[in-house]
Amino acid sequence: MVATLPLHGSTGHRLFTVADLAALPTSLPSGDVRYELDDGKLITMSPPSDTHGRRQNLIGYYLTQAEFAGLGEARSEVGIILRRNPDRVVGADAAFVLTQSLPVTRSPEGYLETIPEIVVEIRSKNDTNPEIAAKNDEYFRAGVVEVWVIDPTARTAAVCRANQSVTVYPDTGTLVSPLLPGWSVPVANLFLGS
């Protein structure tokens, strides 16, 4: 669902800002809700399913291993400001900020302003290929180096890089990244308990 704020005494609409987003409730009588901003337009999303949360927890665990190895800092379920005026805020399932980009900067509302080098998106059943490609392009324009798309249905991990071919790792393979030397994870481990 997309919404804009009505302008007082006008038939037009004003766009949402990062500050507006931070002030919105995360719990409604109908249940929990999450939001993103798409150039100032509010997008409401339902909370992740249990299996989605499980995938998120697993990738977060493995990215934390890279953090313990001194390669940077891991994040799970993080709001990232990709641009301002109009504001674009996405809720990535996981992210990794390399050591050279530390310390991170945050907006006054607590959202990540430092663009992570790696962003992880866990594909939901309603995500279309064009939607995923468009979101990846936005990440790349903001400065993300790699987007990992974890697909529970296909049981794959796809590593996407700007202007390069996509590397798809099947569940029999091992996910690696040149950004994380010495780090790897068997793709099947990302689907434990499914």
Domains and their CATH numbers in the chain: 2-45 (no CATH), 50-191 (3.90.1570.10)
pLDDT at 170: 98
Q: In angstroms, rounded to a whole number, what is the distance separating the alpha carbons of residues 130 and 184?
A: 28
Question: Do 67 and 74 form a contact (C-beta atoms < 8 A)?
Answer: yes
| Residue whose entry in the numeric block shows the structure tokens 């249940």 | 31
pLDDT at 119: 98
The CA-to-CA distance between both ends of the chain, in Å, stands at 29
Number of H-type helices and E-type strands within the chain = 3, 15
Cα distances (Å, whole numbers) of residue 90 to 59, 73, 79: 18, 18, 6
Q: pTM for the complete prediction?
A: 0.89
Q: Tokens representing 162?
A: 């700007």
Q: Tokens representing 172?
A: 């029999």
pLDDT at 194: 60
pLDDT at 1: 45
What backbone phi and psi angles, to 5 degrees, belong to 89? Answer: -125, 125
Instruction: Determine the 3-state secondary structure of 41 from DSSP.
Output: strand
pLDDT at 2: 46
pLDDT at 8: 42
Could you tell me whether strands 118-122 and 146-151 are parallel, antiparallel, or unpaired per DSSP bridges? parallel
pLDDT at 33: 87
Output the tens digit of pLDDT for each of the chain's 194 residues. Answer: 445 444 444 445 789 999 999 999 988 888 888 899 999 999 988 888 888 899 999 999 999 999 999 999 999 999 999 999 999 999 999 999 999 999 999 999 999 999 999 999 999 888 899 999 999 999 999 999 999 999 999 999 999 999 898 999 999 999 999 999 999 999 999 999 86
